[in-house]
């Protein structure tokens, strides 16, 4: 099967069967999403959603968060992974938002990556989800699913995967394709034992077709 056929089959299936795909993080504005995505690194969205209501209530703006301290923020986020680092990142991020960006979350991926706690994946999520830019955030799910299906060819790094996906997915579909792949990896194409029997992507999946031989 040619790569073009595989991409078309996979994207058409998602388009028809998963018309709505969006982040499972709860947020009301770009500032809240930025906090949630920083907290979600190596942590489940479910856990993040449990702690953000109190955090958003008591730190409703970047200005309020910037005036706080990592020690205070730590008490709100202690149940997530790496709370020490993340509390420092959140306060540092808020300070930089106020000092350099007038309290507004930037849309540019390079600008976003200047913020403490924001790597390329987080920057791509914000650019894609908030600003609908053709940015492909590659987390462990996207990395695994893309390789397993055969959308990428043994990519060694998230950046390799990102470049390959962006090259082959139509620009207008990139923002939603990011969610298609994440949700597929989270619920169907799971790490240890993919649920191939209930997967609609079987006709185009390299992993499944190889296993069938």
**Taking a C-beta distance cutoff of 8 angstroms, is the pair 103, 65 a contact?**
no
Residue 22: Cβ within 10 Å count: 11
| CA pair distance 204, 96, nearest whole angstrom | 45
Identified catalytic residue from 121, 163, 172, 195: 121
196 annotated as ligand-binding: yes
139 is catalytic: yes
100 a catalytic residue: no
The single residue of 86, 114, 139, 167 carrying the catalytic annotation is: 139
Report d(CA 176, CA 14) in Å as an integer: 10
Cα separation of 145 and 150, whole Å?
Answer: 8
Q: Is 205 annotated as a binding residue?
A: yes
- Annotated binding-site ranges for [4Fe-4S] cluster: 189, 196, 199, 205
- Annotated binding-site ranges: 189, 196, 199, 205
Q: Which residues are catalytic?
A: 121, 139
């Amino acid at each position: 099967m040619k790569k073009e056929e595989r991409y078309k089959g996979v994207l058409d299936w998602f388009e028809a069967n998963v018309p709505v795909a969006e982040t499972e993080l709860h947020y009301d504005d770009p500032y809240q999403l930025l906090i949630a995505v920083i907290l979600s690194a190596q942590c489940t969205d479910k856990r993040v959603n449990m702690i953000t209501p109190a955090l958003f209530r008591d730190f409703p703006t970047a200005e309020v968060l910037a005036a706080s301290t990592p020690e205070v923020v730590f008490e709100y986020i202690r149940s997530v992974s790496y709370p020490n680092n993340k509390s420092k990142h959140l306060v540092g991020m808020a300070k930089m938002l106020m000092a350099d960006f007038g309290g507004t979350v930037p849309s540019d991926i390079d600008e976003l990556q200047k913020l403490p706690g924001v790597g390329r994946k987080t920057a791509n999520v914000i650019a894609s989800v908030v600003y609908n830019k053709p940015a492909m955030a590659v987390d462990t799910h996207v990395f695994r699913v893309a390789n397993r299906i055969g959308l990428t060819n043994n990519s060694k790094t998230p950046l390799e995967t990102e470049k390959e996906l962006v090259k082959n997915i139509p620009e207008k579909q990139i923002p939603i394709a990011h969610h298609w792949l994440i949700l597929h990896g989270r619920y169907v194409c799971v790490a240890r034992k993919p649920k191939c029997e209930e997967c609609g992507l079987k006709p185009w999946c390299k992993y499944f077709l190889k296993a069938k031989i």
